[in-house]
Amino acid sequence: MLIKSPIVAALFVFLCSSADAAQDVALNLDEIHERAKVTERWQPEPEVVIPGEQGRPPSDAIVLFDGDDLDQWVAASGGAPSWRVEDGALTVLPRSGDILTREHFGDVQLHIEWRTPAEVKGEGQGRGNSGVFLMERYEVQVLDSFDNPTYANGQAASVYKQHIPLANASRAPGQWQTYDIIFMAPRISSNGSLLHPATVTVLHNGVLVQNHAVIAGQTVYVGAPGYEAHGEAPLRLQDHGNPVSYRNIWVRRL
C-alpha cells in the first residue's frame, strides 16, 4: 500500500488499535519514502528561462524581428531585403523575392505572427499566400484560409503538399495569427543517406494542427518530395506575390 498523504497516514495510524501496530506503520512509511527516492532524479537541473509577458519572447530566445528593422535578414537574391517595415510589422513587397535569416538553424522552437490582407483579393492559393520555410526547405504554409477553399494539403498550417492540418484554426483576414512551431531537423549522414526525417509540430492560434508530422523531404510545388544533404540553414519567409505581414518572430535553439 502506497500512502502519499500525511493526513491519510496519520488517520491510518490513529485507527490502529495498538501502539505496536502504529510503530509498524511508521516504519513501513519510512521504508516507502526511502524506496521512493530511488526514482527521484535531481540532475540535470533545468536551466532557468524567464517566460515572456504578453506574447513577448522568453529570456533565452533569439529575436529575429521585434518590429524595428530587418537587420537579422537578407534578401534570398542577396543584399538587403526590400520588404517594408512599418507599425511594428514587416510586410512582403510583392515580387521582391523571399527573405532569409542571417543566422542558420537546425532544431528550433519558433514563434511567428502573421496577418493576411484585410482587403480580400484573389482566391485559393492566390489569397494571402506566403510561407514559413524551416531550414529554407520545409514549408509551413501561410494562407488566408478563412472561408477560402483550396487543396487541403496546401491550406494554412499545412506542411505544404504533405500534411493536411488537423484543424482549420484560421482567423479572419486582417487579423493577427500565431504559429508556434517545434521543428526537428533531418539527420543525414555524411554519405548522404537519410538517418531520420525532419518532424514538425505546429500550434495555429493555440490549436494543435500538426502533431509531430514526419516530413518526407523538401516541400515542392511539383512532384514528389525528397531529401538532399544539408547542414543548418536559414529560416526563409516566402514572397508569393501577396502583401502578407509578420511580427514578433523569435526562435529558441533546441
Name the site residues for Mg ion (rule: CB under 5 A). Answer: 129, 131, 238, 240
DSSP assignment of 134-148: ETTTEEEEE---SS-
Residue 101 vs 155, nearer CB to Mg ion? 155
Residue 57 vs 243, nearer CB to Mg ion? 243
One-letter identity of residue 185:
A
Contact (CB, 8 A) for 179 and 202: yes
Nearest approach, Cβ of residue 154 and Mg ion (Å): 8
Contact (CB, 8 A) for 15 and 7: no
Helix ranges (H only) for the chain are: 6-15, 19-37
Nearest approach, Cβ of residue 139 and Mg ion (Å): 6
Residue 177 vs 238, nearer CB to Mg ion? 238
Contact (CB, 8 A) for 202 and 157: yes
Write the CB contacts of 118 (distance below 8 Å, at least 6 apart in sequence).
Answer: 173, 174
Residue 184 vs 237, nearer CB to Mg ion? 237
Nearest approach, Cβ of residue 143 and Mg ion (Å): 6
Nearest approach, Cβ of residue 132 and Mg ion (Å): 9
Q: Which residue has the CB atom at the shortest distance from Mg ion?
A: 131
Residue 105 vs 114, nearer CB to Mg ion? 114
Contact (CB, 8 A) for 209 and 165: yes
Question: For residues 139 and 161, what is the distance between their CA atoms, to the nearest angstrom?
Answer: 9
Nearest approach, Cβ of residue 244 and Mg ion (Å): 9
